[in-house]
């Protein structure tokens, strides 16, 4: 008598070792490990742009600088200017290094052009 052929629901028995290559077992034929390297981007350092008080630069000129170079509205610019006047130093904004450096240069050039001794500096936050 002839043995019946296995159907889709019946599987022929197999040894436990036959499963390893199919499941990706270590050391089996055709096994490969693919690694993907992810680079972590670091956030740029931030710098505070500061105005320093002096006894010669007009207050209205400082307000104008804050409006023009730091996009402050009149009220905010006046408040920062008064803070600089009363405390000797005030923060205009926080930027990346390149932006802060550019703002300091713009303010210093503009102040010199108008013959004011205003000082603008940047410091790491």
pLDDT in tens, 36-48: 888 889 999 999 9
CA distance 20 to 25: 5
Helix (H, G, I), strand (E, B) or coil at 7: coil
Look at residue 65 and tell me if it is in a domain: yes
Mean pLDDT of the region 3-28: 56
Q: Tell me what pLDDT residue 43 has.
A: 92
Look at residue 4 and tell me if it is in a domain: no
**pLDDT interval class at 67 (50, 70, 90):** very high
Look at residue 103 and tell me if it is in a domain: yes
Look at residue 46 and tell me if it is in a domain: no
Mean pLDDT of the region 104-121: 98
Look at residue 74 and tell me if it is in a domain: yes
**pLDDT interval class at 8 (50, 70, 90):** low
More confident residue, 33 or 67: 67
Look at residue 19 and tell me if it is in a domain: no
Look at residue 117 and tell me if it is in a domain: yes
Look at residue 7 and tell me if it is in a domain: no
Q: Tell me what pLDDT residue 97 has.
A: 97
The domain that holds 72 is classified in CATH as 3.30.1390.10
Q: Tell me what pLDDT residue 32 has.
A: 81
What domain range is 92 assigned to? 55-124
Who's near 67: CB < 8 A, 6+ residues apart?
73, 74, 77
Q: Tell me what pLDDT residue 93 has.
A: 97
Q: How many domains does the chain have?
A: 1
Cite the beta strand spans of 3-118 per DSSP E. 46-52, 89-96
- Reduced DSSP (H G I as helix, E B as strand, rest coil) percent helix, strand, coil of the chain, to 5: 40, 15, 40
């Amino acid at each position: 008598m002839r043995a019946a052929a296995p159907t889709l629901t019946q599987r022929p028995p197999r040894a436990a070792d036959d499963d390893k290559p199919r499941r990706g077992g270590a050391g089996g034929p055709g096994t490969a490990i693919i690694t993907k390297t992810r680079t972590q981007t670091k956030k740029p350092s931030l710098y505070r742009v500061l105005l320093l008080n002096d006894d010669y630069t007009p207050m209205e000129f400082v307000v104008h600088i804050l409006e023009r170079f730091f996009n402050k509205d009149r009220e905010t610019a006046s408040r920062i200017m008064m803070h600089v006047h009363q405390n000797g130093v005030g923060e205009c904004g926080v930027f990346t290094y390149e932006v802060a450096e550019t703002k300091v240069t713009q303010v210093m050039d503009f102040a010199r052009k108008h013959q004011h001794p205003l000082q603008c500096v940047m410091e790491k936050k």
